[in-house]
Amino acid sequence: MARSEWVSRGQRGLRSSLAAVGIAAALLTAMPVASASAAPNAAPGSVMIESVFHGYVLCASKDDEAVYLKPIDTHNNYCKWQQIMSPSGAFTLYSAAKDQVMAYPNGGDGGAVVMEDAQTTDEGQTPNTELWSWGGGEDWGAAALQSFSDSGQNVDAKDPKGDGPRKDAVHTRGWRHGHQRELTWNAISVR
Question: Measured between alpha carbons, how far is 51 from 56 in angstroms, rounded to an integer?
Answer: 6
Q: How many CA atoms lie within 13 A of 145 on its CB side?
A: 30
The third-level CATH classification (topology) of the domain covering 3-190 is: Trefoil (Acidic Fibroblast Growth Factor, subunit A) (2.80.10)
Residue range 135-159: mean pLDDT, rounded:
91
Using DSSP, state whether 169 is helix, strand or coil. coil
Question: Measured between alpha carbons, how far is 36 from 34 in angstroms, rounded to an integer?
Answer: 7
User: Which pLDDT score, from 0 to 100, does residue 31 have?
Assistant: 38
pLDDT at 22 over 60: no
The pTM score is: 0.74
Residues 75-122 have pLDDT tens digits of 999 999 999 998 888 999 999 999 999 998 766 678 899 999 988 666
The DSSP string of 69-119 is: EEE--TT-GGG-BEEEE-TTS-EEEEETTTTEEEE--SSSTTPBPEEE---
Q: Where are the domains of the chain?
A: 3-190
Average pLDDT, the chain: 77
